[in-house]
Amino acid sequence: MIVTIDGPAGAGKSTVARRLAKRLGFAYLDTGAMYRAVAWIGLRRGIDWNDDEAVGWLAARTSIQWNGDRILVNGEDVSDAIRTTEITAAVGHAADHPAVRRWLVQLQRAVAEGVSLVTEGRDQGSVAFPDAACKIFLVARPEERARRRVEDFHARGEEVEFEKVLADILQRDRADQSRPVGALVKPDGAICLATDGLTIEQVVDRLEEIARKRGIGS
Protein backbone atom coordinates (compact mmCIF):
# COMPACT_ATOMS: atom_id res chain seq x y z
CA MET A 1 0.00 0.00 0.00
CA ILE A 2 1.49 3.34 -1.09
CA VAL A 3 0.70 6.90 -0.01
CA THR A 4 2.42 9.60 -2.07
CA ILE A 5 2.99 13.17 -0.92
CA ASP A 6 4.24 15.64 -3.51
CA GLY A 7 4.59 19.38 -3.45
CA PRO A 8 6.97 22.33 -3.73
CA ALA A 9 9.97 23.10 -1.53
CA GLY A 10 9.06 24.28 1.95
CA ALA A 11 5.47 22.98 1.92
CA GLY A 12 6.37 20.89 5.01
CA LYS A 13 6.28 17.55 3.20
CA SER A 14 9.14 15.81 5.06
CA THR A 15 7.88 16.51 8.56
CA VAL A 16 4.27 15.61 7.87
CA ALA A 17 5.13 12.57 5.72
CA ARG A 18 7.34 11.17 8.48
CA ARG A 19 4.64 11.69 11.12
CA LEU A 20 1.88 10.32 8.91
CA ALA A 21 3.95 7.19 8.25
CA LYS A 22 4.37 6.67 11.97
CA ARG A 23 0.65 7.04 12.64
CA LEU A 24 -0.25 4.60 9.85
CA GLY A 25 2.47 2.13 10.83
CA PHE A 26 4.09 2.58 7.39
CA ALA A 27 7.71 3.01 6.31
CA TYR A 28 8.75 6.48 5.12
CA LEU A 29 10.80 7.40 2.04
CA ASP A 30 12.35 10.85 1.52
CA THR A 31 13.12 10.85 -2.22
CA GLY A 32 14.66 14.34 -2.09
CA ALA A 33 17.42 12.78 0.02
CA MET A 34 18.08 10.32 -2.83
CA TYR A 35 18.64 13.17 -5.33
CA ARG A 36 20.83 14.89 -2.75
CA ALA A 37 22.82 11.65 -2.30
CA VAL A 38 23.45 11.46 -6.06
CA ALA A 39 24.51 15.12 -6.11
CA TRP A 40 26.89 14.37 -3.22
CA ILE A 41 28.59 11.42 -4.93
CA GLY A 42 28.66 13.35 -8.23
CA LEU A 43 30.50 16.22 -6.56
CA ARG A 44 32.91 13.84 -4.83
CA ARG A 45 33.68 12.09 -8.14
CA GLY A 46 33.86 15.39 -10.06
CA ILE A 47 31.16 14.24 -12.51
CA ASP A 48 30.41 16.35 -15.59
CA TRP A 49 26.58 16.24 -15.61
CA ASN A 50 26.57 16.93 -19.36
CA ASP A 51 28.51 13.72 -19.99
CA ASP A 52 25.81 11.02 -20.21
CA GLU A 53 28.38 8.23 -20.24
CA ALA A 54 29.90 9.50 -16.99
CA VAL A 55 26.47 9.74 -15.37
CA GLY A 56 25.71 6.15 -16.49
CA TRP A 57 29.04 5.07 -15.01
CA LEU A 58 28.14 6.79 -11.73
CA ALA A 59 24.71 5.10 -11.59
CA ALA A 60 26.23 1.67 -12.22
CA ARG A 61 28.80 2.06 -9.44
CA THR A 62 26.77 3.77 -6.74
CA SER A 63 24.69 1.99 -4.15
CA ILE A 64 22.09 3.90 -2.15
CA GLN A 65 20.83 2.14 0.99
CA TRP A 66 19.24 2.98 4.31
CA ASN A 67 20.03 2.14 7.88
CA GLY A 68 16.88 3.16 9.73
CA ASP A 69 16.52 6.89 9.06
CA ARG A 70 20.09 7.24 7.81
CA ILE A 71 20.95 7.25 4.11
CA LEU A 72 24.13 5.51 2.97
CA VAL A 73 26.03 5.98 -0.29
CA ASN A 74 28.36 3.08 -1.01
CA GLY A 75 28.11 2.24 2.68
CA GLU A 76 29.00 5.75 3.89
CA ASP A 77 26.44 7.64 6.02
CA VAL A 78 25.79 10.91 4.14
CA SER A 79 22.61 11.96 6.00
CA ASP A 80 24.20 15.16 7.33
CA ALA A 81 26.54 15.82 4.39
CA ILE A 82 23.61 16.04 1.93
CA ARG A 83 21.97 18.91 3.87
CA THR A 84 24.65 21.53 3.17
CA THR A 85 24.04 24.62 1.01
CA GLU A 86 26.66 23.23 -1.40
CA ILE A 87 24.49 20.16 -2.07
CA THR A 88 21.28 22.22 -2.22
CA ALA A 89 22.95 24.34 -4.91
CA ALA A 90 24.16 21.28 -6.87
CA VAL A 91 21.15 18.96 -6.54
CA GLY A 92 19.41 20.41 -9.62
CA HIS A 93 22.04 18.73 -11.82
CA ALA A 94 21.02 15.34 -10.48
CA ALA A 95 17.28 16.07 -10.44
CA ASP A 96 17.29 17.39 -14.03
CA HIS A 97 19.10 14.39 -15.46
CA PRO A 98 16.74 11.88 -17.15
CA ALA A 99 19.06 8.92 -16.51
CA VAL A 100 19.36 9.80 -12.82
CA ARG A 101 15.58 10.07 -12.60
CA ARG A 102 15.11 6.66 -14.26
CA TRP A 103 17.65 5.15 -11.86
CA LEU A 104 16.06 6.63 -8.74
CA VAL A 105 12.44 5.90 -9.75
CA GLN A 106 13.47 2.28 -10.32
CA LEU A 107 15.10 2.22 -6.88
CA GLN A 108 12.02 3.82 -5.27
CA ARG A 109 9.83 1.09 -6.77
CA ALA A 110 12.24 -1.59 -5.54
CA VAL A 111 12.14 -0.12 -2.02
CA ALA A 112 8.31 -0.15 -2.13
CA GLU A 113 8.16 -3.82 -3.14
CA GLY A 114 6.04 -5.63 -0.54
CA VAL A 115 6.20 -2.65 1.87
CA SER A 116 3.55 -0.19 3.04
CA LEU A 117 5.09 3.18 2.39
CA VAL A 118 4.54 6.92 2.66
CA THR A 119 6.81 8.36 -0.02
CA GLU A 120 7.47 12.05 -0.46
CA GLY A 121 8.96 14.13 -3.28
CA ARG A 122 8.02 15.89 -6.51
CA ASP A 123 7.01 13.04 -8.84
CA GLN A 124 5.89 10.25 -6.54
CA GLY A 125 2.20 10.31 -7.50
CA SER A 126 2.77 11.34 -11.11
CA VAL A 127 5.70 9.14 -12.23
CA ALA A 128 6.94 6.69 -9.59
CA PHE A 129 3.59 5.42 -8.22
CA PRO A 130 0.72 6.60 -10.45
CA ASP A 131 -1.48 3.79 -9.06
CA ALA A 132 -0.86 4.63 -5.39
CA ALA A 133 -3.79 4.03 -3.03
CA CYS A 134 -3.70 7.64 -1.87
CA LYS A 135 -2.05 10.64 -3.52
CA ILE A 136 -1.61 13.99 -1.80
CA PHE A 137 -0.46 17.28 -3.29
CA LEU A 138 0.67 19.59 -0.50
CA VAL A 139 0.86 23.30 -1.27
CA ALA A 140 1.32 26.62 0.52
CA ARG A 141 1.79 30.19 -0.68
CA PRO A 142 5.48 31.06 -1.32
CA GLU A 143 5.38 33.77 1.38
CA GLU A 144 4.12 31.24 3.94
CA ARG A 145 6.81 28.73 2.95
CA ALA A 146 9.49 31.42 3.20
CA ARG A 147 8.17 32.51 6.62
CA ARG A 148 8.40 28.93 7.92
CA ARG A 149 11.92 28.55 6.55
CA VAL A 150 13.02 31.78 8.25
CA GLU A 151 11.59 30.44 11.52
CA ASP A 152 13.59 27.20 11.05
CA PHE A 153 16.79 29.23 10.58
CA HIS A 154 16.02 31.35 13.65
CA ALA A 155 15.35 28.19 15.71
CA ARG A 156 18.88 27.07 14.76
CA GLY A 157 20.25 30.48 15.78
CA GLU A 158 20.93 31.58 12.19
CA GLU A 159 20.01 35.02 10.81
CA VAL A 160 18.52 35.17 7.30
CA GLU A 161 16.70 37.78 5.27
CA PHE A 162 13.07 36.98 4.45
CA GLU A 163 13.41 38.46 0.93
CA LYS A 164 16.40 36.27 0.16
CA VAL A 165 14.64 33.11 1.40
CA LEU A 166 11.53 34.01 -0.63
CA ALA A 167 13.60 34.56 -3.78
CA ASP A 168 15.25 31.17 -3.24
CA ILE A 169 11.85 29.46 -2.86
CA LEU A 170 10.53 31.08 -6.05
CA GLN A 171 13.69 30.03 -7.89
CA ARG A 172 13.28 26.42 -6.69
CA ASP A 173 9.61 26.45 -7.75
CA ARG A 174 10.65 27.52 -11.25
CA ALA A 175 13.30 24.77 -11.40
CA ASP A 176 10.88 22.11 -10.09
CA GLN A 177 8.13 23.10 -12.51
CA SER A 178 10.29 23.39 -15.61
CA ARG A 179 12.26 20.12 -15.23
CA PRO A 180 12.05 18.27 -18.59
CA VAL A 181 11.38 14.91 -16.86
CA GLY A 182 9.65 14.46 -13.49
CA ALA A 183 8.50 18.07 -13.26
CA LEU A 184 6.40 19.07 -10.27
CA VAL A 185 2.70 18.72 -11.17
CA LYS A 186 -0.41 17.86 -9.26
CA PRO A 187 -0.69 14.11 -9.98
CA ASP A 188 -3.90 12.82 -11.59
CA GLY A 189 -6.34 11.92 -8.86
CA ALA A 190 -4.32 13.62 -6.10
CA ILE A 191 -6.03 15.43 -3.25
CA CYS A 192 -4.71 18.97 -2.94
CA LEU A 193 -4.20 20.26 0.60
CA ALA A 194 -3.20 23.89 1.21
CA THR A 195 -1.27 24.11 4.48
CA ASP A 196 -1.32 27.91 4.87
CA GLY A 197 -2.23 28.77 8.43
CA LEU A 198 -2.30 25.13 9.58
CA THR A 199 0.03 23.67 12.20
CA ILE A 200 2.00 20.51 11.44
CA GLU A 201 -0.33 18.53 13.70
CA GLN A 202 -3.39 19.86 11.89
CA VAL A 203 -1.93 18.87 8.52
CA VAL A 204 -1.05 15.37 9.77
CA ASP A 205 -4.56 14.99 11.26
CA ARG A 206 -6.11 15.94 7.94
CA LEU A 207 -3.86 13.56 5.98
CA GLU A 208 -4.54 10.70 8.37
CA GLU A 209 -8.27 11.30 7.98
CA ILE A 210 -7.93 11.25 4.17
CA ALA A 211 -5.88 8.03 4.29
CA ARG A 212 -8.13 6.22 6.79
CA LYS A 213 -11.20 7.09 4.73
CA ARG A 214 -9.56 5.06 1.99
CA GLY A 215 -9.07 2.13 4.34
CA ILE A 216 -5.35 2.78 4.70
CA GLY A 217 -3.41 2.17 7.93
CA SER A 218 -3.00 -0.45 10.58
Return residues touching ligand DC (CB under 6 A): 9, 31-32, 35-36, 91-92, 95, 121-124, 176, 182
Question: Is the CB of 175 or the CB of 217 nearer to ligand DC?
Answer: 175
Helix extents (H) in 67-199: 85-96, 98-112, 142-155, 162-178
> In the complex, what is the shortest distance from the CB of residue 91 to ligand DC, in angstroms, rounded to a whole number?
4
Question: Is the CB of 104 or the CB of 218 nearer to ligand DC?
Answer: 104
Question: Is the CB of 104 or the CB of 216 nearer to ligand DC?
Answer: 104
> In the complex, what is the shortest distance from the CB of residue 218 to ligand DC, in angstroms, rounded to a whole number?
26
> In the complex, what is the shortest distance from the CB of residue 1 to ligand DC, in angstroms, rounded to a whole number?
19
12: nearest Cα among 137, 98, 96: 137
> In the complex, what is the shortest distance from the CB of residue 36 to ligand DC, in angstroms, rounded to a whole number?
5
Neighbours of 207 (CB within 10 A): 24
Question: Is the CB of 153 or the CB of 212 nearer to ligand DC?
Answer: 153
Q: Are 22 and 43 in contact (CB under 8 A)?
A: no
